[in-house]
Amino acid sequence: MSTAAGLRHFLDIDQIDISVLRQIIDRALVMKRECMSVTAKPLVGRTLALIFEKPSTRTRVSFEVGMRRLGGDVVVLSSQEMQLGRGETIADTARVLSRYVNAVMLRTNSATRLHELARHASIPVLNGLTDQSHPCQVMADVMTFEEHRGSIAGRRIAWSGDCNNVTRSWIHAAAQFGFEFRLACPAALGASPSLIQWAQQNGGCLFVTEDPKEAVKDADCIVTDTWVSMNHNDSETRYALLTPYRVDQELMSLARSDAIFMHCLPAHRGDEVTDEVIDGPNSVVWDEAENRMHVQQAILLWCLGL
């Protein structure tokens, strides 16, 4: 998302031109292949603030290590440590941080808080996750697919589970990158009509079903995620609804023989995925996790105009 005076935020995949998204992924692939992030230090003298209102492993480490590999510095903050946790407004926090650092990443429950931060900041703001989307994750997922299977355009990606923040970013990506997204969810945990309508109106090839076997048929990739996130209080109901959507070897066998398996992690083994799948030869979850760092480096460079 480009804003006034050349300011660039990275808030959601659907808000950024496909040419920019393509440039970011292509650059990340080159950086990983040629280790450019180790030899070049384009972010010397730049500082990234990381604000966490939710726990994190991959987001924190990938952003922090990635920024340092590019020569920059990092300030890590939790809302409990900040005046933000004692009543200071998001707007005032944005104004202050804009005087200290060159970019800020926010990981939060609320998409509203993310967008408010971006409205009042005079530096780039990056979405490290909200309850509505997880764009950095799905950019890494697209990168991972293309690293293993070539262009994602025209390919078939299947999701088995509930429609969550990662799913929404996958739907955004389907419209932008031109692949078919096959979504298998129980009716009570499926995509909202407004999201389906958005995909249809924006050229997204979206197939929706309650049958995971139908969704994964001849798929090039199967994706899932944990059934119970940190903000869910209805775990027993969710487990009952989602058990038929577990990705096991039987479900994988319905996809193409060379189909890959993705999971954004952390995985709850035996729930949404079995050990034989996540540890199997078609799993690319560890490359997927590593690629968070590479794609976020490319996002940072784009946000900072480099």
Annotated catalytic residue: which of 9, 113, 137, 155? 137
Known active-site residue 205: no
List the structure tokens of 10: 């990275």
CA distance 206 to 216: 13
Annotated catalytic residue: which of 107, 113, 168, 246? 107
Annotated catalytic residue: which of 58, 292, 294, 297? 292
Annotated catalytic residue: which of 136, 221, 264, 303? 264
Known active-site residue 248: no
Annotated catalytic residue: which of 162, 220, 225, 271? 225
> What single string gives the DSSP state of each residue in 184-244?
E--GGGS--HHHHHHHHHTT-EEEEES-HHHHHTT-SEEEE--SS-TT---HHHHHHHHGG
Known active-site residue 264: yes
- The residue behind tokens 């389906």 is 196
Query: Is residue 137 a contact partner of residue 129, using CB atoms and an 8 Å limit?
Result: yes
Known active-site residue 182: no
Known active-site residue 134: yes
Least Cα distance to 229 among 242, 217, 218, 220 occurs for: 242
Annotated catalytic residue: which of 8, 134, 182, 294? 134
Known active-site residue 58: no
List the structure tokens of 29: 């692939």
Q: Which residues are catalytic?
A: 107, 134, 137, 225, 264, 292
